[in-house]
Amino acid sequence: MEDLGFNIEEALGLHRVIDEDGNVVGEEPKVSGEKLLEMYVFMVRARILDEWILKLQRAGKVALHAPNRGQEAAAVGAAFALDKDDWLFPSYRELGAYLVRGLSEEEIIDRAIANVDDPLKGSEFAVYGNRKYNVVPAPVPVGSHIPLAVGAAIAAKIMGHKTVVMAIFGDGATSRGDFHSGLNFAGVFKAPVVLVIQNNQYAISLHVSRQTAARTLALKGAAYGVPGVRVDGNDVLAVFSAASKAVERARSGGGPTLIEALTYRVGPHTTADDPGRYRLQDEAKAFEKLDPIDRYRKYLINKGLLSELEDKRIWEEWSLKVEDVVKRCFNKPPLPPEVILHNVYSKPGWNLLEQMRELRESLRLIEELGLEVE
Ligand SMILES: Cc1ncc(C[n+]2csc(CCOP(=O)(O)OP(=O)(O)O)c2C)c(N)n1
């Protein structure tokens, strides 16, 4: 076969560094024990934060949440490969990636409950984004951030910056035109971009087998001259290794890479979904056994980098910290009603000002009547 400039086998196989029991089965990344432990703590923090946001949604304090359970390795491993000045274009299921970029639990919960410190001022759906951390707000239209990320990477290249851009999205996004136009531009212009598919096997209720006849999603890169790599997305070291190589390749002028991280969405699509209507409970139970955190913990213990006692301490420390953060976030006042006029027009028109006056009047009446506004 003619040389494609990359190894197509990498798009068809499944790269692993550790198996389900934490045994080493592939080449370990060359990073310090401290860094390896840091990745673990990010995964634990993502799990604790995810559970809190889910609880707050069930208590009626958060509008909607897309649970991350089971996908912590894919988000943390990918983002961990970026440098501080790189950019992340995430989707809505990547709490771990936000934490790796430097966001705090407090900022994420401020946003989730839309209090006065919410940087996105209560705007609907965008999960989080902040220029401070080079994190672009996750978009609602699935996959629409892919061409934007590629464009940002091309811009960085034109300006002679050494910045790498990473976009993370789901398997469902690979069925959108945005994915294909993004990949095409990335290939043609050798964009310094890393495109990471979190293949959690479902786009809401639609299984990946109903979305594509391609053998793997990573293979889709080949048609656009973009090397694809398929990794075990529940193996944080496999994801990190592939992402590090891709980031290095992008930074040194080698162009884009498409990474497929094969994982599984253990929970519902969002808090508005009931997966019991389209998949068997046994399926989710089977995947729970592949839990990325348990597996990585076993590896770290085998390597002598973590003890059972230290592990217990990490969970306790972060559970308490996040509980305190939640209390702090709820002690902050809610957003003032005026925010609905912010960030829309530079100068609101008469009609909006009139609506604002009416809103204030209704709120005053509600208060006078001793009612509560949720
Ligand atoms: C363009 C567009 N079509 C449909 C939707 C409704 N929708 C929201 S999430 C989703 C599924 C996305 O699946 P995937 O890309 O696999 O990501 P996952 O939710 O599994 O992480 C759909 C269809 C949308 N937000 N945008």
Ordered per-residue pLDDT tens for the chain, 374 residues:
678 888 999 999 999 999 999 999 999 999 999 999 999 999 999 999 999 999 999 999 999 999 999 999 999 999 999 999 999 999 999 999 999 999 999 999 999 999 999 988 888 766 788 899 999 998 889 999 999 999 999 999 999 999 999 999 999 999 999 999 999 999 999 999 999 999 999 999 999 999 999 999 999 999 999 999 999 999 999 999 999 999 999 999 999 999 999 999 999 999 999 999 999 888 888 887 899 999 999 999 999 999 999 999 999 999 999 999 999 999 999 998 888 888 788 888 999 999 999 999 998 999 899 887 66
Ligand 1, residue 173: give the atom nearest the CA: 15
- Which residue of the set 47, 65, 269, 297 is catalytic? 269
Q: Is any ligand 1 atom within 6 A of the Cβ of residue 93?
A: yes
Q: Is 342 marked active-site?
A: no
Bridge partners of 202, per DSSP, are 207
314 & 348 share domain: no
Q: Is 265 marked active-site?
A: yes
252 & 298 share domain: yes
262 & 355 share domain: no
221 & 322 share domain: yes
CATH number for the domain including 279? 3.40.50.970
* Under 8 Å between Cβ of 183 and 221: yes
66 & 163 share domain: yes
**For residue 174, what are the contacts with CB-CB under 8 A and spacing of at least 6?**
143, 197, 211, 212, 217, 220
Distance 177 CA to ligand 1 centre (A): 13
Strands across the sheet with 165-170, in order?
87-89, 165-170, 193-199, 257-262, 228-232
Pick the residue whose CA is nearest to atom 7 on ligand 1: 142
Parallel/antiparallel/unpaired status of strands 193-199 and 165-170: parallel
H/E stretch holding 230 reads: strand 228-232
249 within a domain of the structure (yes/no): yes
91 & 173 share domain: yes
Q: Is 145 marked active-site?
A: no
Burial of 39 (0-12, 13-18, 19+ CB in 10 A): buried
Ligand 1, residue 93: give the atom nearest the CA: 21
The count of domains in the chain is 2
3 within a domain of the structure (yes/no): no
167 & 45 share domain: yes
Ligand 1, residue 269: give the atom nearest the CA: 19
Domain range for residue 134? 9-330
Distance 175 CA to ligand 1 centre (A): 10
374 within a domain of the structure (yes/no): no
373 within a domain of the structure (yes/no): no
Give the number of other CB atoms < 10 A from CB of residue 204: 15
76 within a domain of the structure (yes/no): yes
199 within a domain of the structure (yes/no): yes
**Whether pTM exceeds 0.75:** yes
144 within a domain of the structure (yes/no): yes
79 & 175 share domain: yes
198 & 95 share domain: yes
281 & 265 share domain: yes
296 & 363 share domain: no
Pick the residue whose CA is nearest to atom 11 on ligand 1: 203
Task: State the Cα–Cα distance between residues 299 and 292, nearest whole angstrom.
Answer: 11
208 & 356 share domain: no
